[in-house]
């Protein structure tokens, strides 16, 4: 066997694992393909799993190997990803892919769509993918960065690629958080051809980093012959990133939102992250101001205590009051609370509708002054009311 080839494995199995499988491959010089399978659903799907494994190995150009599969209820797109990762770790299948059947792409994501909640899904854990859209977040994030062990980055990249191709997330915006550059460029090469709606760039400190990602996305889209928009959301996670916030926000028209990562930011400052957020108030204000100045959305960080719903609600309400339009979440149970926190109250909506109606009536009468009852309404108040009504309509509340 050539020195470049070696035994390798990918995936996970065991009593606590579900919707995944483990593949071990031993390349050989001859003897063809030998596949051994253990599966908790083998009685029903064993023959299908074996057939798919053979097809994947053939697509990757593997002619001689002993393959052992331990299946824990994996769906076909996961089976394909795990086999491909093991094959490439073994030194085989260079430049080849085994792509699952592709679901119809959703409508392209608009630059200013609702982004109240974005649910993080670890990119190496397929058990979270299938039902994520049922929880109703505005977006799902297939995460290749902090939630993935360094030794699993290559396998997660293939799995996320297949997930974008094969999983229908319904109305959710499909986001991918890549790794820090330069590793993140490898992530882009794998996932951009499958048209994610948005790419999050972690730990951005300079506009040049966003520019590099933007250029590569453009090149990969050209190569893939697609003109679907792929938006960019930089994550600011350091003091330097915060100080450069506006330049990062304004570097490309493909940047649609700016967000902050408070765990890394507070670590960079050397302070403790608190539930009240006093230590990050300056940074969060800077993010909002920079985003608004650049004409894009400001999105807040996650709230880490998944058991504290009252704290989450307070955080979300304060966040909205600061000018943020949404935040991240790490558990499905946080989604509804976040949506409620970022929604205008019925009293606010009713008042805004009256202001807009008074403005439109004044316009029809050719009046330059807008009044509501005994009060004069200044133009900035009218503009704010228009934005609130538009946002309420997006949420189905007006």
pLDDT at 236 over 90: yes
Looking at residue 46, its pLDDT comes to 94
pLDDT of 351: 83
Query: What would the pLDDT profile of 237-260 be if each residue is shown by its tens digit?
Result: 999 999 999 999 999 999 999 999
Query: Given this model, what pLDDT does residue 383 score?
Result: 79
Query: Is the pLDDT at 1 greater than 60, yes or no?
Result: no
Average pLDDT over every residue of 146-175: 96
Distance, CA of 183 to CA of 189 (rounded, Å): 10
pLDDT band at 369 (very low <50, low <70, confident <90, very high): low
DSSP per-residue codes, 307-344: T-HHHHHHHHHHHHHHT---EEESSGGGHHHHHHHTSP
CATH architecture of the domain with residue range 8-89: 2-Layer Sandwich (3.30)
Residue range 59-79: mean pLDDT, rounded? 95
Q: What is the pLDDT of residue 390?
A: 82
Distance CA(114)–CA(116), nearest Å, equals 6
Listed range (87-101, 153-167, 336-350) with the worst mean pLDDT: 336-350
- pTM score, whole prediction: 0.89
pLDDT given at position 367: 65
- 92: confidence class by pLDDT, cuts 50, 70, 90: very high
Range of weakest confidence among 171-175, 284-288, 358-362: 358-362
Please say if the pLDDT value at position 275 is more than 90.
no
Distance CA 281, CA 292 (A): 17
Q: Which residue has the higher pLDDT, 28 or 379?
A: 28
- Look up residue 104 and give its two tokens: 């119809």
Kindly report the CATH number that applies to the domain delimited by 117-341.
3.20.20.60
- Mean pLDDT lowest for which of 40-49, 51-60, 292-301? 40-49
> Residues 27, 91: contact at Cβ < 8 Å?
yes
- The mean pLDDT of 292-306, rounded to a whole number, is 95
For β-strands 20-27 and 8-11, DSSP reports them as: antiparallel
How many whole angstroms separate alpha carbon 103 and alpha carbon 306?
33
Instruction: Tell me the pLDDT tens digit for each residue of 99-119.
Output: 999 999 999 999 999 999 999
Band of pLDDT at residue 385, cut at 50, 70 and 90: confident
Confidence band, pLDDT 50/70/90 cuts, at residue 2: low
Angle between helices 281-294 and 309-322 (to 10 degrees): 50
Residue spans per domain, the chain: 8-89, 117-341, 346-394
Q: How far is CA 168 from CA 76, 162, 331, in A?
A: 14, 12, 20
Q: Give me the mean pLDDT over the 155-182 stretch.
A: 97
* Cα angle 63-72-15, degrees, rounded to a multiple of 5: 130
pLDDT-derived band at 368 (thresholds 50, 70, 90) equals low
Predicted confidence band at 359 (pLDDT cuts at 50, 70, 90)?
A: confident
Q: What is the pLDDT of residues 135-160, one digit of tens each?
A: 999 999 999 999 999 999 999 999 99
Mean pLDDT, the chain, rounded, equals 93
Tens-place pLDDT, residues 300-336: 999 989 999 999 999 999 999 999 999 999 999 999 9
Mean pLDDT, to the nearest integer, of 50-72?
Answer: 95
What's the pLDDT band for 370 if we cut at 50, 70, 90?
A: confident
- Please check the confidence at residue 398 and state whether its pLDDT lies above 80: no
Q: How confident is the model at residue 3 (pLDDT cuts 50, 70, 90)?
A: low
Measured at the CA of 346, the angle between CA 310 and CA 117, to 5 degrees, comes to: 50
């Amino acid at each position: 066997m050539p020195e470049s080839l070696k035994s390798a494995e990918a995936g996970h199995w065991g009593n606590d694992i579900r919707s995944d499988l483990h593949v071990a491959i031993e390349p050989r010089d001859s003897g063809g393909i030998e596949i051994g399978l253990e599966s908790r659903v083998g009685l029903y799907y064993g023959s299908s799993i074996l057939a798919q494994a053979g097809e994947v190995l053939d697509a990757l150009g593997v002619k001689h190997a002993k393959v052992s599969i331990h299946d824990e209820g994996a769906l076909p797109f996961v089976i394909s990803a795990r086999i491909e990762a093991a094959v490439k770790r073994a030194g085989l299948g260079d430049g080849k892919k085994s792509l699952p059947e592709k679901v119809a792409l959703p409508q392209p994501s608009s630059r200013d769509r609702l982004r109240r909640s974005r649910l993080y899904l670890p990119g190496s854990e397929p058990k979270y993918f299938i039902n994520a859209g049922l929880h109703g977040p505005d977006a799902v994030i297939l995460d290749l960065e902090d939630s993935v062990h360094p030794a699993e980055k290559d396998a997660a990249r293939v799995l996320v690629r297949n997930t974008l191709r094969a999983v229908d997330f319904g109305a959710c915006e499909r986001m991918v958080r890549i790794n820090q550059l330069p590793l993140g460029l490898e992530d882009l090469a794998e996932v951009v051809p499958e048209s994610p709606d948005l790419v999050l760039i972690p730990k951005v400190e300079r506009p040049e980093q966003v520019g590099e990602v933007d250029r590569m996305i453009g090149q990969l889209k050209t190569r893939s012959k697609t003109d679907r928009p792929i938006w960019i959301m930089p994550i600011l996670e350091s003091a330097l990133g915060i100080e450069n916030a506006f330049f990062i926000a304004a570097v490309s028209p493909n940047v649609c939102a700016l967000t902050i990562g408070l765990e890394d930011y507070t670590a960079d400052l050397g302070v403790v992250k608190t539930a009240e957020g006093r230590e990050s108030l300056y940074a969060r204000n800077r993010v909002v101001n920079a985003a608004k100045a650049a004409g894009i959305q400001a999105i807040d960080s996650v709230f880490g205590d998944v058991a504290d719903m009252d704290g989450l609600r307070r955080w979300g309400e304060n966040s909205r009051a600061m000018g943020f339009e949404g935040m991240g979440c790490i558990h499905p149970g946080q989604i509804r609370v976040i949506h409620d926190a970022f929604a205008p109250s019925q009293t606010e909506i009713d008042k805004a509708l009256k202001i807009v109606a008074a403005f439109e009536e004044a316009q029809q009468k050719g009046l330059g002054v807008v009044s509501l009852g005994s009060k004069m309404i200044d133009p900035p108040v009218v503009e704010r009311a228009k934005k609130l009504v538009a946002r309420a309509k997006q949420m189905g509340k007006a």
